[in-house]
Amino acid sequence: MSVQSKIESLGYKLPLAPQAIAAYIPANRSGNLVFTSGQLPLKDGRLTLTGKLGEPLSVDDVKEATIQASLNAIAAASAVCGGLDKIVKIVKIGVFVACSPNFSEHHLVANHGSNFFLSVFGEAGRHARFAVGVPSLPLNAPVEVEAIFQVADAP
């Protein structure tokens, strides 16, 4: 089953590559690696959720937002490497969680993204990862996901 078909079988649609909201590009290719900028949970140009974990959002509240940010990372990578079929594996993801000072379940928020990448890419979706809490994110987003992809056919 193709990556596109797997995404659709999970009930999602790959968005167009996100537009930058500041002075950066959504993804940059170097050889056979694609590095995405941090992707917010934007869908059709709007955040799917705002706020902080622990104030009052829970880990479950941000599942769909984390998946949307992950989809945006996939779309950004696909746009610079020539398509989903060029993605060989997910090397690493980083998950930033906007949260209150006492929140300590960053790893569980990041699991939403990790599990999505695994569902879409299978074993090629197994990756290294970091998850970190921050006091705020752009546009009051609750989560931001960045990723490093290995791609085929280095330019």
CA distance 68 to 130: 18
Bridging pattern class, strands 33-36 and 27-30? antiparallel
DSSP classification of residue 16: P
Q: How many CA atoms lie within 13 A of 83 on its CB side?
A: 5
Rounded-to-10 torsion of CA 112, 121, 131, 30: -150
Supply angle C-alpha 35, 39, 42, rounded to 5: 150
pLDDT category of residue 124 using cuts at 50, 70 and 90: very high
Amino acid at 31: G
Query: How many angstroms separate the Cα of 10 from the Cα of each of 42, 50, 116, 117?
Result: 18, 24, 9, 11
Q: How many CA atoms lie within 13 A of 60 on its CB side?
A: 0
pLDDT category of residue 153 using cuts at 50, 70 and 90: confident
| Domains along the chain with CATH numbers | 3-151 (3.30.1330.40)
CA distance 141 to 49: 7
Q: How many CA atoms lie within 13 A of 2 on its CB side?
A: 8
In this model, does residue 119 exceed pLDDT 80?
yes
CA distance 28 to 44: 22
Q: Is the pTM of this model over 0.75?
A: yes
Tokens of 58: 């829970």
**36-61 pLDDT, tens per residue?**
999 999 999 999 999 999 989 999 99
pLDDT of res. 154: 62
